[in-house]
Amino acid sequence: MTAATAYRQIVLNDKNVPMIADSTMKVMELVMAQRAHGWSPEELHFQHPYLSMSQIHAALAYYWDHKVEIDTKIDESLRFADQARMAAGPSPVSAKVTKAKGQL
């Protein structure tokens, strides 16, 4: 179930998360990719060819009009990932690599 927004290419899913219409990509995910890599809309399209330029620009426009809300969700998501990573501890592979480096 999705709900329409004032942005033709953006819908809200059943959890009220803004999604790019006719895709499975969240607006937040596209913004995070742009931030992480410094990609232009054209580069975002190159990296995600299943999204049209119209969808990309609509997602970016939606972001700028809802910046505080989306930035807050991005920050929460990153904090959760950091906490989960710390709680999980080092991976077994990482521990083996560290041990092997110490034996060199």
Q: What is the pLDDT of residue 104?
A: 55
Distance CA 25, CA 17 (A): 10
CATH of the domain at 16: 1.10.10.10
**What are 9's two structure tokens?**
């290419």
Q: Total structural domains in the chain?
A: 1
Q: What is the pLDDT of residue 103?
A: 63
Residue 43 pLDDT class (50, 70, 90 cuts): very high
Domain of residue 92: give its range.
Answer: 3-102
Name the more confident of 40 and 7.
Answer: 40
In the DSSP assignment, the letter for residue 37 is H
pLDDT tens digits, 65-94: 999 999 999 999 999 888 998 898 878 888
Letter string b/e over residues 6-30, b meaning 16 or more CB atoms within 10 A of that residue's CB? ebebbbeeeeeebbbbebebbbbbb
Beta bridge partners of 99: none
pTM attached to this predicted model: 0.78
Q: What is the mean pLDDT of residues 56-69?
A: 97
Nearest alpha carbon to residue 36 among 74, 1, 69: 74
DSSP, collapsed to helix, strand or coil, labels residue 24 as coil
Count CB atoms within 10 A of the CB of residue 77.
13
